[in-house]
Chains A and B, each alone.
Chain A
Amino acid sequence: MLDFLFSGWGAFWVTMAMLLPFAGMFWYVIHRKSVVDSGPGTTPPAAMSRLEGYWLTAVFVIFVTINLASLRFMPIMATAHAATGGVPVQEVELAATSWKYEMSTREVEAGKPVRFSGRAMDTQHGFAVYHPDGRMLFTMLMMPGVSKATSVVRTFTEPGTYKIRCLEYCGIAHHGMKDELTVVKSKAAT
């Protein structure tokens, strides 16, 4: 459930879950007070104050809950776990230049963490990895001239051919800047 929630479509449905109750309330209040009965409201001030308190408390609790739940899905957490977990990390170093990637390897094993470390050599570039079913798994923003390489740690669970795309506009052939990553079964498992 939470895995879905913190995917692209999860983000979409969370946004809709925030919009739809608001839209319903918005339509109800405007329709009721401009079409059905535009006379002064009879709700006592104390009741309005209580409503205000309930509303703001509910919003605060929802916001905090969503953000706390997201902690486990932050790639920065995976990076921290990789650094302290004692599991060997597969390293993929990449250099992005208009309009191609140079990668230290294009094949990694499933089930073992992979650290992608990327640098942009000319202008800004992205490095987005897409699951074979078309879902975007993660993206990195690489800026030229920074001292530290942009880095993400990811453990792939399914073997297959993963597409790589640049998601930072980098000029007239930006859409052609793509590559592939092959995830193979763990050698330990075979």
Chain B
Amino acid sequence: MTIATAIIKGTPVFGRMFSVDKSTGLEEINAWPALMIMASFIWLAVAGLLGLVMPATQMFDLDSGHFYTTLTLHGAALAFPFSFQLMVGVGLHRSGGCVGKPITGWLPAMCFITMNLGAALLTVAVLMGFKVSLIVMFPLPLVGAQMGIWSMNTVILGFTGIYLVLACMILLYPLLGLSMLFFGKKRQDLVLSERSLNDPGMLGMTLSALTLLIAGLPLVVVGTTLLLALYGVIPMSMAAWAAEPVVFQYVFFIFAHNLMEAMALMVSSAMYATLPLYLADGTRKLFSDKLANTALWILLLTSVTSFLHHFITSYPAQPAALSYWGNIMSWGTGIGAAISIFTVLATIWQHGLRAEPGIIAVLLGWALYILDGASAMVTSNVAWAYVLHGTMWQSGHTMTVILAMSLMWMGVLYHHYPVITGRKLDPALGTWFVRLFTVGGFGAAIAMLAGGAAGMPRRFADWNQEGWMVYGHMIMIFGVILGASFVVYAYNLLQSRDLNEALGQRVGAT
């Protein structure tokens, strides 16, 4: 038994959901992924509860400090240790099965430790008063310490946590993914569904790992410099360049924007791999691999520099030419999405679909991602950026992209769950999960976009003016529905039945 399997076994409640099936001989591609997926669901429980607290603090007029605490914790927990870690877990299991390589050794262990230890340290720092939002808002951490709102020790703790999380996302996970793809010996006994780099189901995973590594390296350099200065290893004067707000903000958004795009590439790839398995005529082929790959390449090439749209409203600090470039590239991602829409719908049209909960979750998550993409393109237009930037529109966009990818990964997990655990999920509960998530996800997204259209500010502890509270109520209602969908999904995992038992009952019934 590996350490990962032992940790899962020793974890109450969640351990029961993800206990690894050792009878298949696939523990080497299942154990670490299962542990990461389990940890991601623990963070989801934390993030979900905090997400409901946010509108509740506004409705019941609680202390604004509670709102900003939950704002920071909810965003950070949802984006990184839940969504990203879920992607890493399911993605690594897929990679292992595609290339026949074990996920063992120090690299997956370090991925797990850095992500969860980092997120835990950040959580402690936030509970100690460090309220900086999901995107750090540099130089707010240092200004807050100077103003005495939180202590410098809290900044150091929070930065250490953020640094560990980033180390997992920028260095360890991409290196693990790439080393599995290009190095090591293939073991036939671990191959579940062999794929090459020409396959859209594999190409997106490779592009995603490279994007994270390349787009994230400048932030690693800046973050390392700052951290060394905070720990007193180098004098603060040597880190002055890294502490420049413009330097930090640009390297942060080169990474943060492309993190979301990398996750989109990864999940699109997983969708291209999963959809053919559910085609009614059994052809197991996309309408066109070439079109699917073209969509991935367009998404990659256009998204890399579209991060410039984050700074449109800082003109002339950001020159107009760069803002126009960010505008055009952002709409260019829409061309990739249009090709993707055609490929997916043409595939279903030509081959029919076995509408099982897993693939429907993937497709509805993808539809939510299309809504998010449309909202992102609109707010990246220079004219619209000036009436939407800083409003709830942006929060809606961020939340929707994370929810969309989470729904898609939960659908992909639904597909892979029997291979990992040897147990089967209940399709009726799966269908209820999909229904609730769809209503909650689309409803919350549209409510937040409407709030942004009405000028409702994001990250703002005073919704009760200008009639904005109506959007707050809608966000709360749809948030509760989303929460219910997660409860149904978790219940389904908890009461999953052994494959042999499920098969035996079905044979008995017939």
Q: Are B389 and A15 in contact (CB under 8 A)?
A: no
- Cβ-defined partner of A59 (8 Å) among B327, B334, B390, B457: B334
Whether A8 touches B391, Cβ cut-off 8 Å, given contacts A34-B280, A63-B331, A172-B64, is: yes
A33–B352 alpha-carbon span in the complex (Å): 5
Q: Are A63 and B314 in contact (CB under 8 A)?
A: no
Contact of A148 with B by CB under 8 A: yes
Which residues does chain A contribute within 8 Å of B460, judged by CB atoms?
167, 169, 174-175
For chain A, the bracket of interface size reads 35 or more
Q: Are A11 and B393 in contact (CB under 8 A)?
A: yes
Q: Are A151 and B384 in contact (CB under 8 A)?
A: no
Which residues does chain B contribute within 8 Å of A19, judged by CB atoms?
370-371, 374
- Cβ-defined partner of B351 (8 Å) among A10, A40, A55, A142: A40
Contact of A85 with B by CB under 8 A: no
Q: Are B389 and A167 in contact (CB under 8 A)?
A: yes
Which residues does chain A contribute within 8 Å of B147, judged by CB atoms?
98, 171
Binary contact readout A160-190 vs B (1 if CB under 8 angstroms, 0 otherwise): 0000010111111111100000000000000
Q: From A144, which residue of chain B is reached at the shortest CB distance?
A: B245
Q: Are A145 and B320 in contact (CB under 8 A)?
A: no
Q: Are A76 and B320 in contact (CB under 8 A)?
A: yes
A157–B183 alpha-carbon span in the complex (Å): 66
Which residues does chain A contribute within 8 Å of B353, judged by CB atoms?
30, 33-34, 38
Whether A56 touches B342, Cβ cut-off 8 Å, given contacts A143-B245, A168-B137, is: yes
Which residues does chain B contribute within 8 Å of A11, judged by CB atoms?
378-379, 384, 387-388, 393, 453
Q: Give chain B nearest CB distance to A49 CB in angstroms.
A: 10
Q: Are A146 and B246 in contact (CB under 8 A)?
A: yes
Contact of B386 with A by CB under 8 A: yes
Which residues does chain A contribute within 8 Å of B363, judged by CB atoms?
26, 30
Q: Are B345 and A25 in contact (CB under 8 A)?
A: yes
Contact of B21 with A by CB under 8 A: no
* CB under 8 Å from chain A, chain B span 351-385: 351-355, 360, 363, 367, 370-371, 374-375, 377-379, 381-384
Whether A41 touches B389, Cβ cut-off 8 Å, given contacts A30-B355, A143-B246, A144-B139, is: no
Contact of B186 with A by CB under 8 A: no
In the complex, identify which listed stretch (B90-98, B190-198, B461-469) lies at the interface while the others stay far away. B461-469
Q: Are A29 and B466 in contact (CB under 8 A)?
A: no
Contact of B163 with A by CB under 8 A: no
Which residues does chain B contribute within 8 Å of A15, judged by CB atoms?
371, 374-375, 378, 449
Whether A150 touches B280, Cβ cut-off 8 Å, given contacts A63-B331, A172-B64, is: no
A173–B462 alpha-carbon span in the complex (Å): 10
Q: Give chain B nearest CB distance to A56 CB in angstroms.
A: 6
Contact of B297 with A by CB under 8 A: no
Which residues does chain B contribute within 8 Å of A141, judged by CB atoms?
311, 313-314, 389-390
Of listed B315, B328, B342, B454, residue having the most chain A CB within 10 A = B315
Binary contact readout B259-296 vs A (1 if CB under 8 angstroms, 0 otherwise): 00000000000000000000011000001000100000
Q: Are B350 and A41 in contact (CB under 8 A)?
A: yes
Q: Give chain B nearest CB distance to A21 CB in angstroms.
A: 11
* CB under 8 Å from chain A, chain B span 115-150: 131, 133, 137-140, 143-144, 147, 149
Q: Are B342 and A172 in contact (CB under 8 A)?
A: no
Which residues does chain A contribute within 8 Å of B311, judged by CB atoms?
141
Whether A48 touches B391, Cβ cut-off 8 Å, given contacts A70-B382, A130-B455, A140-B314, is: no
Q: Are B133 and A12 in contact (CB under 8 A)?
A: no
Contact of B176 with A by CB under 8 A: no
- Cβ-defined partner of A40 (8 Å) among B149, B281, B338, B341: B281
Q: Are B461 and A174 in contact (CB under 8 A)?
A: yes
A37–B78 alpha-carbon span in the complex (Å): 39
A150–B334 alpha-carbon span in the complex (Å): 29
Q: Are B313 and A52 in contact (CB under 8 A)?
A: no
Which residues does chain A contribute within 8 Å of B379, judged by CB atoms?
11
Q: Give chain B nearest CB distance to A68 CB in angstroms.
A: 11
Binary contact readout A128-145 vs B (1 if CB under 8 angstroms, 0 otherwise): 101000111111111111
Contact of A84 with B by CB under 8 A: no
Binary contact readout B480-499 vs A (1 if CB under 8 angstroms, 0 otherwise): 00000000000000000000
Q: Are B315 and A150 in contact (CB under 8 A)?
A: yes
Q: From A138, which residue of chain B is reached at the shortest CB distance?
A: B386
Q: Are A171 and B315 in contact (CB under 8 A)?
A: no
Q: Are B133 and A136 in contact (CB under 8 A)?
A: no
Which residues does chain B contribute within 8 Å of A39, judged by CB atoms?
280-281, 352
Which residues does chain B contribute within 8 Å of A59, judged by CB atoms?
334-335, 338
A151–B320 alpha-carbon span in the complex (Å): 12
Q: Are B384 and A150 in contact (CB under 8 A)?
A: no
Q: Are A75 and B386 in contact (CB under 8 A)?
A: yes
Contact of B257 with A by CB under 8 A: no
Which residues does chain B contribute within 8 Å of A8, judged by CB atoms?
387-388, 391, 393, 452-455
Which residues does chain B contribute within 8 Å of A172, judged by CB atoms?
64-65, 68, 131, 149
Q: Are A70 and B381 in contact (CB under 8 A)?
A: yes
Q: Are A140 and B352 in contact (CB under 8 A)?
A: no
Contact of B228 with A by CB under 8 A: no
Q: List 9 A-B contacts (CB under 8 A).
A: A18-B374, A33-B280, A34-B280, A75-B315, A128-B457, A140-B314, A143-B314, A145-B244, A146-B245
10 smallest CB-CB distances across A and B, nearest first, come from A167-B390, A136-B455, A38-B352, A12-B453, A169-B459, A38-B280, A34-B355, A73-B383, A175-B462, A70-B383
Give the interface of A toward B (CB within 8 A).
6-12, 14-15, 18-19, 22-23, 25-26, 29-30, 32-35, 37-41, 43, 48, 51-52, 55-56, 59-60, 63, 66-67, 70-71, 73-76, 79, 98, 122-124, 126, 128, 130, 134-148, 150-152, 165, 167-176
Q: Using A8-B388, A33-B352, A37-B352 as known contacts, list a sample of 19 further A-B pairs with CB atoms less than 8 Å apart, ordered by residue number in A.
A: A8-B387, A11-B387, A12-B449, A30-B353, A33-B353, A41-B352, A56-B339, A70-B383, A76-B382, A98-B143, A123-B140, A134-B455, A139-B386, A139-B387, A141-B313, A144-B139, A148-B316, A167-B458, A172-B131
